[in-house]
Amino acid sequence: MLKNHLKVALRTILRYRNYTILNVLGLSVGVAACLLLYVVYSYESGFDKFHSKYDRIYRIVKQTDYVTGQTDYTPGSPLPFYAALKVDVPQFEKLVPVYGTLEPQVTVLGKDANNQTSEKKYYEDDDGLLTVPEFFDVFDFPFLAGSKSVLKDPNVIVLSKRRAEKYFGNWQEAIGQFVKINNKTVMKVGGILANPPINTDFPVDMVVSYESKRQQPQLFGFGGFESWGGTSSNDQLFVLLPENVAPASIDKLLVKFVSKHYNSKKDNFKIKHFLSPLADQHYDDRFVNYSDHIMGKDVLWTLVVIGILIISMACINFINLATVQSVRRSKEVGVRKVLGSGRSELIRQFLSETVLIVGFAVVLGVFIAMLSMPLLGKISRVPADLPVVKNPQLWLFIGALTIIVSFVAGFYPAVVMSGFRPIEAIKSKIANRSLGGVSLQKALIIIQFGISQILVVGTIVTIAQMKYIGNLDLGFVKEGVYSVNLDEAYQTRFETLRNELLQIPDISSVSFSSDVPSSDDNWSGNFAFDNKGKDEDFQVFNKFADHHYFQAYGMEFAAGGPYQAGDSIGSCVVNETFLHKVGIKDPQEAIGKNIRMGGGEWQPIVGVVKDFKANSARDAAKPIMIMPVPKFYWLAGIKIQTKNVSKAVGEIEKIYARVFPEVTLQGKFFDQSIEEFYNQDRQLSLLYQIFAGLSIFIACLGLFGLATFMAQQRMKEIGVRKVLGASVSSIVALLSRDFLLLVFIAIVLASPVAWYFMNKWLQDFEYKITISWWMFAISAVTAILIAFTTVSFQSIKAALMNPVKSLKSD
């Protein structure tokens, strides 16, 4: 029986080729889009889920609430936190301190720890952790050689297999050899890890013993193991809870712990530590992770919704075309029923046809998706070497998608056609079915174009927002500044570097600083102002820079000016937002007033710089203090004024290599760094563009097919009208009017939905556009023009047909 069903189904598919092609095209595009989105979703939602104790791993995070209403978040804990917590809260099964990331320069020494001539130097960006042996009891990163116990000793490093091969060629021979970290500390290779999974937020290609930090805290981060006053987001604590222990019970203990160890005299802010599950680490943008790769759950669910919408549109196409097709196949159904076929038999027959069509579409969709896989990095952070084909979950998803689409797309048409009455079917008296009094085809067209309208409006809004951000006045000049890394150990050579660089005619300024004006770095602290005896009710954000900083980045002053070279008084510059928060309206009044950071010395304000965007457009302006502190100069900002940028960069590299032969240069243009702020938003914008285009394509396929069948159904009517003198334009208008009305209804219904979701997305930005009427107008006109073009093709074809040909049977 199954063989007969398939044989008849194949014959029917070949007989109605145009119908089959339209359905396969629509379904294959929908399947391909769904598969690509699933790959992104699967990758982003699978971070660190491979750990066997995943659901019991938590990170201790910190929330600081100020009386002004400001709230700051950090995943870091003070260095003494670890030892004190082990004593005061023994309920943890494991307590693991982690410092990261090292971002080291690694010099490969080989078997000689005293090797002074090695030229094998590598800069490992966003890589490297320091931790204790218990780290490997909590997280599943297996050893290929050695064991976790080697991390009990200082100056020991564990490498991944791929990193060991990079440094030493053969990973089996790496144990016992030596590397030097940042030209300071020699490390002995004590173990080799299996290459970590591709979707982990822990950069474990190199793991250094935490004892190295205890003995040399100044080389790995800031602060001391006795200081409760400072917190770095790099110093994090992870815990493994015993089974059946609720996180809420630990949070209560942490409240008592904080009140015991923190300074209770501070009344302008309140500190709270609590447990944040590992399951949230990749998604909670309040707390940075070691990979700096955070995917908001709202974005992740946006991908899911778009995937469902696209495949739903493809199914709607199938239902729409199949329902119209049922009129053409009514006689076939009538004959089958007269010959004894039951309704269930017919349902199985029609479903088998659907399964075949869906099968062809899935195969084609998989092929399209595989061809498009290299382009996936444009709309996501999915790595190019992701082993997609070997992922069994993907093939399970493809199987499930085939079954679901076959049922969803095929069930309703099968029920409709199997329900025809034999006499009516044979006499061709079957009319288009209705659903709730509204033509099913019309309802489905409204749904399709409604979805398209939402995605098109989303595309227009995201493009407008990205353009707005690109034209935003940042308060500094981002073009032409080339930033290179500095090593504070060679600070005595900084001026040599500056002087030699300024000999290049195309370089106008060189500045040394801790940070560029706009970045993800947020170094903040408590402070007192204007010689008051207590701290202010908010924190000030710090940048450390020399007096050339303001010229190199083109920053403007509202009052005063930069501090002088070699300023021994410790002068500083603040921004306008700082003045607003301390209640000063005239910038000139701030000149000469004093600031004291923490328990430091009072410093006079010598300048007020105009507000600049210190972070992304998502963040409000922050109170900023800029001061010269040479020990924190980690970057050189080099202002290049030439069209021949590559030549200037080449000269910079030569001078840098001559001045700092020990250091590997890492350079990047400042405007590239700013672009990275908005990578995810640009990817979302591109995602909307691509899938808005796909949704329109799928909707037009269905509209084209429907228009074709409707034109054929009204062929005799058109012939009569032409005989009676109707013009081609009037016939085109007649056939197009109903479809355009449906598109207009879809626009009206979808526009409020589109406004709601895009307005919600814009709320994440401090600096944003206002959604305007013209965005909906452009989307509406685009949809109407596309729909009219699609329908008019068949309308014109029908209108131009010789009426004799259409009426000859009568």
Helix axes 440-470, 679-713, angle to 10 degrees: 150
**Which residues neighbour 760 within 8 Å (Cβ) at sequence distance 6 or greater?**
none
CA distance 285 to 167: 34
Other beta carbons less than 10 A from residue 589's beta carbon? 12
Alpha carbon distance 502, 659 (integer Å): 14
Proportion of the chain above pLDDT 70, given as a percent: 85
pLDDT tens-place string over residues 85-134: 999 998 999 999 999 888 889 999 999 999 888 889 999 988 899 999 99
Residue 20 has pLDDT above 90, yes or no: no
- Res. 435 pLDDT band, cuts 50 70 90: very low
Q: What is the pLDDT of residue 804?
A: 58
Section 693-722 average pLDDT: 73
Contact by Cβ (8 Å): 42, 330: no
Which of 715-724, 732-741, 771-780, 796-805 has the largest mean confidence? Answer: 771-780
In contact, 538 and 68? CB cutoff 8 Å: yes
Closest CA to 370 of 391, 397, 388: 388
pLDDT tens readout for residues 356-391: 888 888 889 999 988 888 888 777 888 877 777 777
DSSP 253-292: HHHHHHHHHS-TT--SEEEEEEEEEGGGTTT-TTS--TT-
- Kindly report the number of other CB atoms within 10 A of residue 569's CB atom: 12
Residue 437 binned pLDDT confidence (cut-offs 50, 70, 90) = very low
List, in sequence order, every beta strand (DSSP E) within 384-432: none
pLDDT (0 to 100) of residue 6:
58
Q: What is the pLDDT of residues 548-601, one digit of tens each?
A: 999 999 999 999 999 988 765 689 999 999 999 999 999 999 999 999 987 788
